[in-house]
Amino acid sequence: MQQYITELFTTYEQIAFLLSILINILISVLGVVPSVFLTAANLAVFGLWEGLLLSFIGEAAGAVVAFYLYRKGFRSMTERKLSHPKVQKLLRAQDREAFSLILALRLLPFVPSGLVTFVAAIGRVSLLVFAVASSLGKVPALLIEGYSVYQVINWTWEGKVIVTALAVVLLFITWRRLRK
């Protein structure tokens, strides 16, 4: 997928930045598609800092668009249907509490971004609070993701360590599942 997007960006060089942002918005609205391949394409075509900045702009814009669309389309969903206590806390949160929760959830790498956006959108948080907290929370995660992808793309010793560590984790997970 990254190869296809990289070719798309090089073919349409004049509007590549706009295409990247639009693809990121689409990924955010879908809510389940990982954006790492788009970050990799941005880094390959635009370089480390420009690629990271473009990925940040796209992810921030995507989160806001997804929030707005989810709010319009799913707001009628009642709180009773989402009964998990952590979900209820975010649904009822406003202002500072909502800001802190969204920021914290964006910083946690294992919490799906689409889920945070969805729950915030059907809850009581304002678009402005969501946009600021979500964008600030994306910065550290995107820097880590971008640095890791950049090292792997350029096949530096750090990239080799990252790929080796990822392979070890995947082997361990596979081994555990096979044992069960």
Question: Tell me, what's the pLDDT at 132?
Answer: 94
**Ranges 42-51, 79-88, 118-127, 165-174: which has the least confidence:** 79-88
pLDDT tens, residue by residue, 134-164: 999 888 888 887 887 887 777 777 767 777 8
Closest CA to 60 of 119, 138, 128: 138
Question: Tell me, what's the pLDDT at 100?
Answer: 86
* Stronger pLDDT, 75 or 147, i.e. the higher one: 147
DSSP letters for 83-131: --HHHHHHHH--HHHHHHHHHHHHH-TTS-HHHHHHHHHHSS--HHHHH
Is 91:79 a contact under the CB 8 Å cutoff?
yes
Question: Tell me, what's the pLDDT at 116?
Answer: 86
pLDDT tens, residue by residue, 29-65: 998 888 888 988 999 899 989 999 999 999 999 999 9
Nearest-angstrom CA–CA distance, 6 and 20: 10
Nearest-angstrom CA–CA distance, 176 and 57: 39
Question: Tell me, what's the pLDDT at 99?
Answer: 87
- Which residues have CB under 8 Å from 78's CB, separation 6+? none
**What would the two tokens of residue 141 be?**
């995660």
| Total domains in the fold of the chain | 1
- Which residues have CB under 8 Å from 115's CB, separation 6+? 31
Is 62:29 a contact under the CB 8 Å cutoff?
yes
Assign 3-state DSSP to the chain and report helix, strand, coil percentages, each to 5.
85, 0, 15
**Ranges 23-32, 85-94, 100-109, 136-145: which has the least confidence:** 85-94
Question: Tell me, what's the pLDDT at 55?
Answer: 92
Nearest-angstrom CA–CA distance, 80 and 25: 29
pTM of the model: 0.73
Domain around 106 = 2-179
Question: Tell me, what's the pLDDT at 79?
Answer: 47
